[in-house]
Amino acid sequence: MKRALIGVLLGGVIGCGGASGDGNTGGTSGTEPTTHLLDQQSLTIPAGQADAVGPYSVPGGATITYQITDTPTGIGSDTMTVGIATEATAQASNPTLFAAQSNVSSVTGTTPALSAGAYDLYVACRNLVDNCIFDETVTGFY
| pLDDT confidence band for 29 (50 / 70 / 90) | low
Whether the pLDDT of residue 27 is over 70: the answer is no
**pLDDT value of residue 15:** 45
**pLDDT value of residue 72:** 83
**pLDDT value of residue 21:** 45
* Biggest CA-to-CA distance, the chain: 94
What ranges do the domains of the chain cover? 34-141
**34-141: CATH architecture:** Sandwich (2.60)
Task: Check if the beta carbon of residue 84 is closer than 8 Å to that of residue 111.
Answer: yes
Residue pLDDT, tens place only, 48-96: 999 999 999 999 999 999 999 999 887 789 999 999 999 999 999 899 9
Question: The pTM is what?
Answer: 0.77
d(CA 110, CA 138) in angstroms, rounded, equals 10
Task: Check if the beta carbon of residue 72 is closer than 8 Å to that of residue 79.
Answer: no
Task: Check if the beta carbon of residue 45 is closer than 8 Å to that of residue 81.
Answer: no
- The beta strands (E) that lie in 59-116 are given as 63-70, 80-86, 97-104, 107-110
Q: Any idea how long the chain is?
A: 142
